[in-house]
Structure 1
Amino acid sequence: MDRREILALYEWAPGNCFRCARTDTPTTHLDELDPPAGGHYEARVCEECVLELEDERRRYAERVGSEYKPGRLGPGEA
């Protein structure tokens, strides 16, 4: 699967990347954060960070001998 196909598995909206701090860039929802100090934040990640995280998931699946399925970043996903 190429990068365009992986990115197409996610919904995109303008935002700021929680992981690399890029601003005003296409981002996708990763998780919700409720820090002990209060507040509620939506963690979003940009296209480059999604590709890096997907690559990490793929390498991990190869190491442990499990099946890798892209498009599953976020809460409750493996």
Structure 2
Amino acid sequence: MDRGEILGLYEWAIGVCFRCATANTATTHLGEIDPPAGDHYDIRACEKCLVELEEERRRYAERTGREYTPGQLGRCEL
């Protein structure tokens, strides 16, 4: 799968990337953090960081003999 196909598996909106801190860029929602203090943090990744995270997932799956399916970042795996 190429970069464009992987990016197409996610929904995008303007936000701040949790990984590189780039603001006002296209990001995808990966999760949320709701600490006891009551604050709410939306975890989002930009296109560049998402592709890097997907590549890390692919390499991990390869090393551990697991199946890799792109487009699963931020989805709960039970």
TM above 0.5, yes or no, is yes
Structure 2 gap segments, 5+ residues each: none
Counterpart in the other structure of 2:54: 54
Counterpart Cα distance in 2 of 1:69 and 1:20: 24
Counterpart in the other structure of 1:7: 7
TM-score between the two structures when normalised by the length of structure 1: 0.92
TM-score between the two structures when normalised by the length of structure 2: 0.92
Counterpart in the other structure of 2:69: 69
Tell me the C-alpha RMSD between the 2 structures.
1.3
Counterpart Cα distance in 1 of 2:17 and 2:77: 20
User: Are 1:33 and 2:33 an aligned pair?
Assistant: yes
Structure 1 gap segments, 5+ residues each: none
Q: Percent identity?
A: 68
